[in-house]
Structure 1
């Protein structure tokens, strides 16, 4: 009998199904109130703007280029628009520092491939974005906890990596309104990370998927901007900024981008050429049309909607949750992180919540590289209106009280 497990590469054993992708199937069940999917609300997509963009492309001479093979670096007008947007954030760069990928998830996969040899160590936060762990897992790394405060020394990271059979290669984090916690790294923490990376001589992967979704509070410069301010030139930096249009415009077009030192970009372009040649030309052109004609207005619209939902969820948590339950209070993004009393298991709670209360969320254990965090969970406010949020959190709070009784 054919045994595929004997034929598969050893790295395939590190590939696991995403709990979140499985939970997204619940969105099709009308009886379930789902706080599980960290996805944008389709009612807020700029659909009319995209209709106009594709109509313009197909009505002119640009259609031939739109349907043709293209350069691996990405559609130049879009890369040039991005250089202007980066400049507003303090990231002075040229189009040569911008690389278009098929969703920022592809960027994470390429960076894992670029840096990680089997046995190397990636520093990640506890918890961290599940998609990043899935992207990196294929390259057989070890993980160590990235601590931006406390007494952890560069030498301790180096020693732990050596004992595990490799080197520390990069630190990965989402600095603004992180998935899954909704938390933001303060400026001092970002500066300390640059110090750590310089000491260890490693890369920093800055996942900025939610950077545009600040509702309140004072904006903090991206890590890449802070490093450029220190070193004077993006081509002297080690921070790799990964951005996306999925949370602001439309995820289905699968257009993301990487902004980094030109040496990194050149390596990523070679990977692109070997993998899928280039990201969808026509989708890049459509994104360029929409960004140039109304990106700021679109961001303003979604921030207004999501901030109201964030406020509704925080109010409902305060109203319905037992005193022993804690949660984050994000200044933006799409997520709130809930910590249950010790001994309560999020996965067990989810099964009961779906069965008895018709409410879904994501258990927090999946976001921990070491399998800890069983008493945590992630809830998203992006796809539910205020009334639904109140009802769903009321049901969830009632279940937790029942479990504690």
Structure 2
């Protein structure tokens, strides 16, 4: 019998199952109050709009094109619509600067493949998006912590990378309502990042999956917008690669995302797609364009109303039920609250106890740290939880943390 492990490439050893994907199985258990899945509420999907869109597409002149092979760059009317939307947030570009992917997760995989050789270093925040680590890990990089506060210098990043046997290839971050913390990088932090990237001469990968989910506070220009502005309005002179998605606003199951960057980068990504899957689903791209063009703003407004309410309820419940020594973020948008437990507590152990005794699920924070730290942290998602679930679930979780805190002190 073939020993499969013996013939797998060495890179496969760095591939790990997603803790979040595994935890999503708990959503099927009716006895569990889950704050684990960072997924949109399916009740908020524009069901009627998509039903009408697919009916129109398959019953109209686009039917054959929708079911046929298409160009690797992506459905042009969708890219044209995106150009108009991007201009509203300070990103002037053309259709040739926009590339459609099968979800923004595919974009991260392509970018890892494009930039990383084994032993190179990727700069990531601590914590960072788990899916990005999974995407990059296959290309065997090292990681260094991207610190936008403090005295870390570009030279120190370069020296650390050289000692590890490679060079710094890019900085990756989610600047708005990041997964997992819900936090936002202020304008000064974005400008500092661009300055450091200039010194290191590396690209910046901006993950904008939650860009449209701002519930309060003033919007901050995307990093790519700042980069374009400082380069005289010319996207071709920029070093920022912007990754967007329709998963959090319209429907994740359709797997439609996009990359916005200079044409030089886009051309390379197109070649990768031709080799990987030829193009993203034609009919799904057309459906996304139909629905977005006729009601994107209204859909986003609906999400704001519901998610803002749930975020507020979760912050109120945390303030009401959490014991002293527990801290949490207060996000202005997105889907997550990040909780820091007292030193010495372990989020993974707490989860096991929580599932067993309190029937509450969350994501332990350690998985979001490239260096394996962060054991005393956890991520809570409020996107799919109603008022009763939030109040009761946080009450139970607070009770459990209080018990564990007392046990640790004894």
TM normalised by structure 2 equals: 0.98
Equivalent residue number for residue 3 of structure 1? 3
Equivalent residue number for residue 66 of structure 1? 66
Matched, 1:240 2:248: no
In the aligned structure 1, how far is the partner of 2:140 from the partner of 2:230?
33
Equivalent residue number for residue 312 of structure 1? 313
Equivalent residue number for residue 395 of structure 1? 396
Runs of 4+ in 1 over 4 A off after TM superposition: none
Alpha-carbon deviation of 1:75?
0.2
Matched, 1:323 2:328: no
Alpha-carbon deviation of 1:387?
1.5
In the aligned structure 2, how far is the partner of 1:145 from the partner of 1:60?
52
- Within a 5 Å distance, the mapping from 1:79-228 to structure 2 comes to 79-228=79-228
Equivalent residue number for residue 348 of structure 1? 349
In the aligned structure 2, how far is the partner of 1:385 from the partner of 1:262?
44
Equivalent residue number for residue 370 of structure 1? 371
In the aligned structure 2, how far is the partner of 1:388 from the partner of 1:157?
44
In the aligned structure 1, how far is the partner of 2:95 from the partner of 2:247?
21
In the aligned structure 2, how far is the partner of 1:258 from the partner of 1:397?
41
Q: Which SS does the other structure have where 1:395 is aligned? A: helix
In the aligned structure 1, how far is the partner of 2:65 from the partner of 2:2?
46
Q: For residues 354-398 of structure 1, give each alpha carbon's deviation from its aligned partner in whole angstroms, at most 9, with x where no partner exists.
A: 000000000000000000000000000000111110000000000
Equivalent residue number for residue 383 of structure 1? 384
Equivalent residue number for residue 405 of structure 2? 404
The unaligned stretches of length 5 or more in structure 2 are none
Q: For residues 327-378 of structure 1, give each alpha carbon's deviation from its aligned partner in whole angstroms, at most 9, with x where no partner exists.
A: 0000000000000000000000000000000000000000000000000000
Q: Which SS does the other structure have where 1:143 is aligned? A: strand
The unaligned stretches of length 5 or more in structure 1 are none
Equivalent residue number for residue 30 of structure 1? 30
In the aligned structure 2, how far is the partner of 1:154 from the partner of 1:279?
37
In the aligned structure 2, how far is the partner of 1:262 from the partner of 1:401?
54
Alpha-carbon deviation of 1:404?
1.3
Alpha-carbon deviation of 1:29?
0.3
Q: Which SS does the other structure have where 1:114 is aligned? A: helix
In the aligned structure 1, how far is the partner of 2:323 from the partner of 2:96?
53
In the aligned structure 2, how far is the partner of 1:342 from the partner of 1:11?
34
TM normalised by structure 1 equals: 1.00
Matched, 1:57 2:57: yes
Q: For residues 110-142 of structure 1, give each alpha carbon's deviation from its aligned partner in whole angstroms, at most 9, with x where no partner exists.
A: 000000000000000000000000000000000
Q: Which SS does the other structure have where 1:119 is aligned? A: coil
Equivalent residue number for residue 295 of structure 2? 294
Alpha-carbon deviation of 1:5?
1.7
Q: Which SS does the other structure have where 1:157 is aligned? A: helix
- Within a 5 Å distance, the mapping from 1:38-53 to structure 2 comes to 38-53=38-53
Equivalent residue number for residue 253 of structure 2? 252
